[in-house]
Structure 1
Amino acid sequence: MTMTPEEFVEAIGTGNIIHNSGDLFGDHLRSVQRVLKEWGEDEEVQLAGLFHSIYGTEGFQDFQLSFDRRDDIKKLIGERAEFCAFCNCVMDRTTLDRTLSDSSGHHSINARPDVAGGAHIPLTDSQFKDLITVHVADWLEQVQREAAKVNERHGWSKPGDAWGYRRHAYRTMAEMLGGSALKCYDDVFSHEPKETRHLHQEATPKLDAPIVPKIYVQ
């Protein structure tokens, strides 16, 4: 019997590890999928949300599905969704932020040297839109929980610091998307206290070893 994408995510152990946001990793994945559904995104983008950090990301490396499984994931959720999730996982986020100012037809990102040798990844306009849609949904789903606590690994030494993480980039992405994404951004950030609205952390700090042994799934 073939598993659904949701069953697969559960079967590989995402319910056994805590995500940065404090939720179980699997719960966070499903919540991002739900946000994208609420925004009216199509099923492929919703599935990209469900798998958005399945290979590990610049900001979360405590769970990493092996890249050897990419063909399996493509068969499960489709090439479009898998490519979006793959990009979200491997990218150097500063290169995403930089390409926000590029003109239509000229968007690209670089992979991080530690996962894909810093490979240059050109994006079509539709691939770029998919990526920023999923990337913004991921952050908006968790930022309030992140901001409620300390996360020294990300340079957030006191509650509230997370609000400033790549603030300009996330706002720019939300404005580029407009509609439900921008409304959600405004709704979420309306809860930010005035005393943190000056904070700006423009890059993701290099993560040390995971707090708990990461799950590297073949």
Structure 2
Amino acid sequence: MSFGSAARAFLREHGTEAIEHPGGTLYSHLCRVEQRLAAASAARYVQLAGLTHAAYSTDGFDLALIAWTDRHLLRAVIGLEAEELVYLYGACDRDRTWRALAATSTVHDRFTGQKRILESHLIVPFVDLSIVNELDVIEQNPALLVNHGDYFRDLFDRWAPLTSPKVADEIQRLMGSRQ
């Protein structure tokens, strides 16, 4: 069984097809995030992280499929690199991390209270996953763009130097310019 097939089976076993999320179910959202990352030419481990990014819950979606202390369970399904990115995404304290990320490369861990300076190879994947997730939610719930568009435009502008070109194109396509 491939990592992708195993990850989908893991998600189904953990009830994601019955959990409501903008645009349908959590399962459909996770699959769309994976597909968006694939379309942006992200590495396969980044796509797998996108597919399972909510496994430990997130700062914006507080429902864990498994406890973050059981990381070995997800590693066995998607591999070490992908699981590391899932952990970073789930652990990220957005209020303390996002606005300063481009300047500090630091993620504040909401699970442990510690902070981690991201290694250079993790920065673009972390930013792209974060953006693609938000873009999917915005596309499924356009009221978010009306209510929070300025915040996301400002944030994505801050992250522009860290964003892959295809994800930057998606930002422009879905959110337009600031004018």
Task: Look up the match of 1:210.
Answer: none
- Between Structure 1 and Structure 2, the one with more helix by share is 2
| d(CA) in 2 for partners of 1:76, 1:30 | 16
Q: Deviations over 1:19-52 (max 9, x none)?
A: 2x24200110010000000011111010010111
After TM superposition, the score normalised by the length of structure 1 is 0.73
Structure 2 portions without partners, runs of 5+: none
> In structure 2, the residue corresponding to 1:60 is in which secondary structure?
coil
Specify whether residues 64 and 76 from structure 1 end up closer, same or farther in structure 2 by C-alpha distance, changes over 3 A only.
Answer: closer
Moved over 6 A (4+): none
Number of equivalent positions: 176
Paired letter, 1:65: I
1:144 deviates by 2.6
Q: Deviations over 1:48-93 (max 9, x none)?
A: 1011121111111134421233101112111111111111111111
User: Equivalences for 1:47-196 in 2 at 5 Å?
Assistant: 47-94=48-95, 95-102=97-104, 107-112=105-110, 115-116=111-112, 118-148=113-143, 160-190=146-176
Q: Would the aligned equivalents of 2:49 and 2:86 in 1 still touch at CA under 8 Å? A: yes
Q: Would the aligned equivalents of 1:109 and 1:121 in 2 still touch at CA under 8 Å? A: yes
Task: Look up the match of 1:6.
Answer: 8
What is the alpha-carbon root mean square deviation over aligned residues? 2.3
Asked if residue 39 in structure 1 is aligned to residue 40 in structure 2, the reply is: yes
| d(CA) in 2 for partners of 1:62, 1:162 | 22
| d(CA) in 2 for partners of 1:92, 1:71 | 22
Q: Would the aligned equivalents of 1:45 and 1:81 in 2 still touch at CA under 8 Å? A: yes
> In structure 1, the residue corresponding to 2:54 is in which secondary structure?
coil
Question: Between the two proteins, what is the percent identity of the paired residues?
Answer: 22
| d(CA) in 2 for partners of 1:175, 1:120 | 22
| d(CA) in 2 for partners of 1:23, 1:164 | 25
1:178 deviates by 3.9
After TM superposition, the score normalised by the length of structure 2 is 0.87
Q: Would the aligned equivalents of 2:36 and 2:132 in 1 still touch at CA under 8 Å? A: yes
Q: Would the aligned equivalents of 1:44 and 1:80 in 2 still touch at CA under 8 Å? A: yes
